[in-house]
Amino acid sequence: MSYSEDLKAFAASHKYEDVMVDGAKFHYVLNGRKDSQTLVMLNGGMNTLEMWMNYVDAFSEDYQVLLFDYPQELRTNQELVTGMHAFFRKIGVKKPIFVGASDGGMVAQIYIQKYPGEAGGMVLVSTGGMDAETLKTLKKKYFFAPVMLWYMKHCNYEKLKPKLIKAGMSHIRNESKEEIAYAQDMFETIFKDYTKEKDVHISGLLADLMNQTPVTAENFQQLKGKILLILPDQDFFSGQMQEDLIRLMHDPKIAYVSGGHLSTILKSEDYVRTIRDFLKTFEN
């Protein structure tokens, strides 16, 4: 099926809910076993919970699965993780196992740094570490981020959308024709209703990553043996960044996979299998 068909089927079979927590509106889907641990899926740079829609049913037999959009009221990453903490308490989620892709993997690291001992595990997919060296590299790479953010706030956003779709498709690597078509339909479907306000919000969160206090290996000592890193061989994050991420973690399980930054979505069956095998290796 195409992305748009998958999205329609997901929306018809899963319940979306909204809850206000300390002035922030959390839009979420909570599915699966309420008596089991919760997998909390953290979105990448487009902040759409539906990026995980092909993961939910695969895990719901054994786990509770939480998807949510980052609320627009939370403008910094510190506000976001504080809001997430209150949100989890509101809906009864304890000891979450984070599954974070791209920027979501960095949010997971910030959360664990801020709330030590409160996570049950961590799966980081196609992401980099929040360590000092990686942040230094990203600051250089995104030196003009404030200018781009200003432009985004003041531009004709509808005219910008084709360029954003093209930028998203630039992450295609060795995918099949079917996967490329799925990605094209995904970006076109998402951007059809994507608003400037939502893009400015998530872009602001991405820029704010550079302002965070770097994490250290000590922050992850508590999760020794409960960390999985899924690292594509043609990812946006460089091989050096991947090595720096590995050094941060304690006894991580590492899965090297063929593909690029979009593989989390385009090869979801492979990723689900890898994550499931990992989760079976530890008791919580």
Domain extents in the chain = 8-134+213-279
Q: Is the predicted pLDDT of residue 142 greater than 80, yes or no?
A: no
Contacts for 255 with CB less than 8 Å, ≥ 6 apart: 228, 229, 230, 231, 274, 278
What fold characterizes domain 8-134+213-279?
A: Rossmann fold (3.40.50)
Give dist(CA 185, CA 112) in Å, integer: 35
Quick one: which of 192, 209, 215 has its CA closest to 149? 209
Measured on CA atoms in the order 191, 76, 93, 197, is the torsion positive or negative?
A: negative
Cα Rg of the chain, angstroms: 18
For the segment 67-80, the average pLDDT, to the nearest whole number, is 98
Tokens 């956003």: give the residue.
157
Give dist(CA 260, CA 168) in Å, integer: 12
Contacts for 113 with CB less than 8 Å, ≥ 6 apart: 130, 213, 215, 219
Instruction: Determine how many CB atoms are found less than 10 A away from the CB of residue 183.
Output: 20
53 neighbors 7 (Cβ within 8 angstroms): yes
Q: What is the pLDDT of residues 3-57, one digit of tens each?
A: 999 999 999 999 999 999 999 999 999 999 999 999 999 999 999 999 999 999 9
38 neighbors 255 (Cβ within 8 angstroms): no
Q: Is the predicted pLDDT of residue 119 greater than 70, yes or no?
A: yes
pLDDT score recorded for residue 214: 97
pLDDT score recorded for residue 141: 77
- The mean predicted confidence, pLDDT, of the chain is 95
Strand partners, 21: 24
For the segment 78-92, the average pLDDT, to the nearest whole number, is 98
pTM of the model: 0.96
pLDDT score recorded for residue 144: 77
pLDDT score recorded for residue 165: 97
Beta-sheet pairing, 64-68 with 38-42: parallel
Report H helices in the chain: 3-13, 53-60, 77-91, 103-114, 132-141, 145-154, 157-169, 177-193, 196-208, 239-248, 263-266, 268-279
* pLDDT range class, residue 283, cuts 50, 70, 90: low
Give dist(CA 191, CA 250) in Å, integer: 39
Give dist(CA 219, CA 237) in Å, integer: 21
Q: Is the predicted pLDDT of residue 284 greater than 60, yes or no?
A: no
